[in-house]
Amino acid sequence: MIVVKTVKEMQQLSKKFKSSDNSIGYVATMGFLHEGHLSLVNEARKRDDIVIMSIFVNPTQFGPNEDFETYPRDFERDCQLAEANGVDVLFYPSVTEMYPSELTSEIHVVKRTNVLCGKSRPGHFDGVATVLFKFFHIISPDRVYFGMKDAQQVAVIEGFLTDYFFPISLVTCPTVREHDGLAKSSRNVNLTTKERKEAPIIYEKLQQVKMLVENGVRDCEQLKKTIVNKLSSAITGKIDYVELLTYPDLTKTNTIKGKMILAVAVQYSKVRLIDNIILTIKEDNECIEQ
């Protein structure tokens, strides 16, 4: 595995791979790797000749009172995991390498961001889109791999890849969970023991609402109320949002049909957890979880 720290070297390497007709699969991460990240690498290994992973905790997607400083980091461990799982190039730039001077233009995402994390974290998706524009231009991947754990991020990326004619295919991968159902996340280490014990309830309640949909409940407000009641009586964390929206457009609707996202965010003492399920309600009323 090659570790690259400069933009210039990364651009040269990518150019070399492309000139020898190798396809490039790219996995963007903020590090502190877990099986969720590695499932993306695994998927990329199956389809692409070269797998490039970036590790970069991007300051522009964190708000002033968010966890940029305390975001977990362990580069040595990440290196070993990336290499053992078949990453060919690990791109690990510094903040000044990625943002050498003040930006002269900014990416501002105008759709799919006035709800969920975009509403709770103003500017977050502008930061995500800005850094991904940089990475996509530096690496020129053929395919990019993103997790449905961050379903709103996927919706935003899908939008800008289309808007700006990026010659890149987006591959989405399912959420990898702990044995008790909690979605794997680098941030889980910042939960207290008590919080970690109750956090699986979030997914449990998502599943209970899915069962209601399977049993024919179609009223969005009723379903939202049910999950808010169930969650608030079962956890100590503060519910940031519970939403049931169309996917990927992320618009409100009264009755659920077609592809929908049921998404939850819960604020614990040091960590904000997000989780979601994507449901497709077919013409014959069959409900399938993606």
List interacting residues with ligand AMP (CB under 6 A). 29-30, 36-37, 39-40, 146-147, 149-150, 173, 175-176, 183-186
Minimum CB–partner distance for residue 200 and ligand AMP (Å): 13
- Cα separation of 100 and 112, whole Å? 29
Known active-site residue 124: no
37, 108, 124, 179: the catalytic one is: 37
Q: Based on CB atoms, which residue is closest to ligand AMP, 171 or 287?
A: 171
Q: Based on CB atoms, which residue is closest to ligand AMP, 32 or 281?
A: 32
Minimum CB–partner distance for residue 280 and ligand AMP (Å): 19
Q: Based on CB atoms, which residue is closest to ligand AMP, 149 or 272?
A: 149
Q: Based on CB atoms, which residue is closest to ligand AMP, 111 or 177?
A: 177
Minimum CB–partner distance for residue 19 and ligand AMP (Å): 28
Q: Based on CB atoms, which residue is closest to ligand AMP, 177 or 218?
A: 177
Which positions are catalytic? 37
